[in-house]
A = this chain, B = another copy of it.
């Protein structure tokens, strides 16, 4: 079982992408010493994403990659790219910096958007993975079809991200099982902890045939956080999945992250839980709170309405529309939307 450590990429969301050279180096050395097989690095939204809109990273992609490359003696280095945020030129630079694994992330029904990048990387001889995000929005069968496309394009591995933290263990098992039955390459699962099930979901994924599970030290990540690496490793070991990761080593890496990043790890608060129930991407969180509160609208109503409209990343404008509608319809803060809540938790 390959444990893929996304602390220095997805974990950046928990610190507004402000990890500096000392934190990057220190954590990468600790993860390497623990025998973690893959360490992913970058801005929270991947290569090329540092910007006013997505948040400025503390250091450039070049500095992140060269720092982590230098710190890793055994672990492989991975990067993440969202087409639109990053480009082929970013991929080329990452490969030149020694990235061993590149992941291309696309919306769960848009595998075709990854074809060009996967092909480009394959031509260069770099290992390319394709991952389907917001995977609660597609059926297991549809995800299997999309994953099969990614494999056809030449992906060395394919998988799903539970980007909104909406899935429960049975949902994950069904999805991973369908994908594992449709492709011959390793299957990835990447969880978020909005409903407190990230570890159990990852275990369900492993049992359903996943070969790679993602996790972050202390669960550092956007909103409610990711799967906790230092918890997942011993749980996998205890249930018969050998990870090759040293227990004390990974505990030490997590303690380092706790000291060097921020002391209190992310946890599911109201916005995180409702975001998970409604199936809204974690990146919307700050925008929802920022727009809803001054308008006197309950942010929880906004999450449920966004979920009903199947909003996805890139559709941040919808937040403003929904807040305005809820505000003008006088449904703000009435606390009486029993029907909506029921629907949201259904």
Contacts and interface: CB of A to CB of B under 8 A. Distances in A.
13 contacts: A196-B200, A196-B227, A197-B200, A219-B267, A230-B268, A230-B270, A231-B273, A234-B345, A248-B298, A248-B335, A248-B341, A251-B270, A258-B269
Interface residues of A, number: 48
Nearest to A228: B196
A319 to B, nearest CB: 20
Interface stretch (A3-11, A44-52, A235-243): A235-243
Pick the 3 closest A-B CB pairs, nearest first: A200-B200, A196-B199, A264-B264
A255 interface: yes
Given A196-B199, A218-B267, A230 B273 contact: yes
Contacts of A234: 195, 273, 277, 345
A193 to B, nearest CB: 8
Copies per complex of this chain: 2
A234 B263 CA distance: 28
A178 interface: no
A143 interface: no
A338 B199 CA distance: 24
Interface string A307-346: 0000000000000000000000000000100100110111
What secondary structure prevails in chain A residues at the interface with B?
helix
A198 interface: yes
Given A199-B195, A248-B341, A277-B238, A255 B230 contact: no
A195 B269 contact: no
Nearest to A235: B195
A232 interface: yes
Nearest to A263: B264
Given A264-B264, A267-B265, A238 B346 contact: yes
Given A168-B238, A196-B231, A247-B345, 20 more contacts: A168-B203, A168-B235, A195-B234, A196-B228, A196-B235, A200-B200, A230-B268, A230-B273, A237-B345, A238-B277, A238-B345, A238-B346, A246-B338, A247-B341, A248-B300, A251-B270, A251-B274, A254-B269, A258-B269, A267-B267
A169 interface: yes
A252 B231 CA distance: 29
A338 to B, nearest CB: 8
A11 to B, nearest CB: 15
